[in-house]
């Protein structure tokens, strides 16, 4: 199975994670600009993508997950839908890019399924881990940046966006607290892969924290 970490493979896979309103999408765009400049000097390209989505089939599934009533799916069904979208995304977008030597920067990946469905909706770790093993095998990101923010602050930011894909934002405050706790527990369990970034600051400060984490973990020289 393809992996971003096999010896001699130039590609790297970086994921951004976090709860609602943590600023992932904005920071991903900023990080992409910085990374593209650094990688271009090495003759490498950067692919940006997202989950759920990132391939035509996965984007169709995305619409089922991020819109509509909060209780439209059972937790198990949600986890299965996310996993199906992820497998298609990997086969059609992520793995081909990595095999070509490109770097891939992704807005959410399997940690979101663990945090949202495993912790937030109470499925537990075991079932989600089983699903991820079936879909991914041993494939893992080279680096996962978890943007951490106070739940109420994040939700205020999320509501201010006035986006239509707000199904998860409308879930109760207990769900969002479990979600945050879940991401932090994931980081504690896998400190070699995960870096927690304090996202409760202005955009430039958070960007600098992310840039430092990427440079330090992956040995890149990144200029502001």
Query: Binding site for ATP: residue ranges?
Result: 18-25
Which single residue is written with the structure tokens 């079932």? 127
Q: Where are the beta strands (DSSP E) in the chain?
A: 13-18, 46-50, 103-107, 143-148, 194-198
Whether 214 and 8 have beta carbons less than 8 Å apart is answered as: no
Whether 92 and 53 have beta carbons less than 8 Å apart is answered as: no
Give the CA distances from residue 65 to residues 53, 113, 166, 169, 203, in Å, rounded to whole numbers and listed in that order: 10, 12, 10, 12, 28
Whether 167 and 70 have beta carbons less than 8 Å apart is answered as: yes
Q: Which residues of 131-166 are buried (b: 16+ CB within 10 A; e: fewer)?
A: bbeebbeebbbbbbbbbbbebeebbeebeeeeeeeb
């Amino acid at each position: 199975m393809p992996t971003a970490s096999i010896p001699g493979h130039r590609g790297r896979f970086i994921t951004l994670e976090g709860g609602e309103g943590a600023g992932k999408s904005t920071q991903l765009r900023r990080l992409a600009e910085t990374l593209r400049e650094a990688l271009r000097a090495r003759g490498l390209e950067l692919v940006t993508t997202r989950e759920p989505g990132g391939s035509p089939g996965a984007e169709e599934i995305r619409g089922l997950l991020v819109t509509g009533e909060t209780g439209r799916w059972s937790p198990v069904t949600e986890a299965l839908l996310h996993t199906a979208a992820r497998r298609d995304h990997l086969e059609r977008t992520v793995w081909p890019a990595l095999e070509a030597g490109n770097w891939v920067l992704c807005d959410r990946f399997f940690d979101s399924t663990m945090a949202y469905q495993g912790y937030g909706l109470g499925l537990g770790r075991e079932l989600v881990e089983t699903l991820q093993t079936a879909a991914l095998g041993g494939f893992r990101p080279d680096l996962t940046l978890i943007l951490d923010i106070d739940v109420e602050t994040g939700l205020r930011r999320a509501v201010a966006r006035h986006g239509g894909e707000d199904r998860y934002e409308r879930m109760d405050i207990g769900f969002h607290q479990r979600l945050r706790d879940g991401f932090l527990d994931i980081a504690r369990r896998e400190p070699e892969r995960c870096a927690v970034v304090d996202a409760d600051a202005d955009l430039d400060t958070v960007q600098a924290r992310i840039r430092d984490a990427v440079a330090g973990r992956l040995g890149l020289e990144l200029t502001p």
